[in-house]
Amino acid sequence: MNLLYGLNDQQLQAVTSDSPIILNLAGAGSGKTRVLTHRMAYLHQEKRVGTSNMLALTFTRLAAKEMKERVMALIGTAEGYKLTVGTFHSFCVQVLREFGYLVDLEPNFTIYDEEDRTDIIHSCVDELGYKKIKVRDVIDNLYKDLSGLDQSLARVIEEYGYRLKRNNAMDLDGLLVSTRNVLESSQAQRELQNRYRYIFVDEFQDTNDIQFEIIHLLNPENLFVVGDDFQSIYQFRGANVRNIIEFPDKYQKCEVIKLERNYRSTKQIVSAANSLIKHNLSQTEKALIADREGLDIRYLIMPDEDAESRKVADLIASESKSEAWSNVAVLARTNRQLQTIKDVLDRRNIPSLIVSSQNDVFKKQDIRKIIAFIEVAINPQDDANIHKVINFPNMRFTDLDINNLEFKALDQGWSLSDIMKIGTEKEKAFYALLESIKDRVENIETARDVIEEAIHQLSLRIYYDNEGLKNRQEDVSAMLLEVERWQNVQESLGEPNGIYSFLKWLRTKDIQEKLVQEKVDSVKLMTVHASKGLEFPVVFVIGMNQNVFPSKRAEDIEEERRLFYVAITRAKDRLYLTRPEQREAYPGGPMALQVESQFIQEIELEQAECIGQSQGRTVGFGWME
Residues annotated within a binding site for ATP: 26-33
Smallest gap, in angstroms, from Cβ of residue 8 to ligand ATP? Answer: 5
Smallest gap, in angstroms, from Cβ of residue 203 to ligand ATP? Answer: 7
The two beta strands, 582-584 and 591-593, are antiparallel
Among 25, 29, 142, 329, which residue interacts with ligand ATP (rule: CB under 6 A)?
29
Stretch that binds ligand ATP, among 21-29, 178-186, 332-340, 580-588 (CB under 6 A): 21-29
86 contacts Mg ion (rule: CB under 5 A): no
The helix-helix angle for 88-99 and 186-195 (nearest 10°) equals: 130
The helix-helix angle for 470-493 and 460-467 (nearest 10°) equals: 150
Which 243-302 residues touch ligand ATP, going by CB under 6 A?
A: 263-264
Among 34, 38, 39, 583, which residue interacts with ligand ATP (rule: CB under 6 A)?
34
432 CB-side CA count, 13 A = 9
What lies within 8 Å, CB to CB, of 496 at 6+ separation is 490
What is the rounded CA–CA span in Å between residue 19 and residue 184? 26
Strands lying side by side in the sheet with 223-227 = 84-87, 54-58, 198-201, 223-227, 21-25, 255-257
Smaller CB separation from Mg ion, 531 or 594: 531
533 contacts Mg ion (rule: CB under 5 A): yes
31 contacts Mg ion (rule: CB under 5 A): no
Could you tell which of ligand ATP, Mg ion, none binds residue 100, using a CB distance below 5 to 8 A set by kind?
none
Stretch that binds Mg ion, among 30-38, 123-131, 252-260, 592-600 (CB under 5 A): 30-38
207 contacts ligand ATP (rule: CB under 6 A): no
| Count of positions on this chain that bind Mg ion (CB under 5 A) | 3
Smaller CB separation from ligand ATP, 32 or 369: 32
32 contacts ligand ATP (rule: CB under 6 A): yes
Q: How far apart are the first and last CA of the chain?
A: 51
Could you tell which of Mg ion, ligand ATP, none binds residue 86, using a CB distance below 5 to 8 A set by kind?
none
Smaller CB separation from ligand ATP, 155 or 292: 292
- Length of the chain equals 625
Among 4, 6, 351, 412, which residue interacts with ligand ATP (rule: CB under 6 A)?
6
Stretch that binds ligand ATP, among 6-14, 123-131, 384-392, 511-519 (CB under 6 A): 6-14
48 CB-side CA count, 13 A = 0
| CA-wise closest residue to 263 among 75, 33, 13, 22 | 33
Which 57-116 residues touch ligand ATP, going by CB under 6 A?
A: none
Could you tell which of ligand ATP, Mg ion, none binds residue 31, using a CB distance below 5 to 8 A set by kind?
ligand ATP
Distance of CA 186 to the CA centre of its chain: 31
Binding flags for ligand ATP, 533-572, as an x/- string (CB under 6 A): x-x---------------------------------x---
Is 520:569 a contact under the CB 8 Å cutoff?
no
557 CB-side CA count, 13 A = 11
Among 10, 15, 31, 386, which residue interacts with ligand ATP (rule: CB under 6 A)?
31
Percentage helix, strand, coil for the chain under 3-state DSSP, each rounded to 5: 55, 15, 30
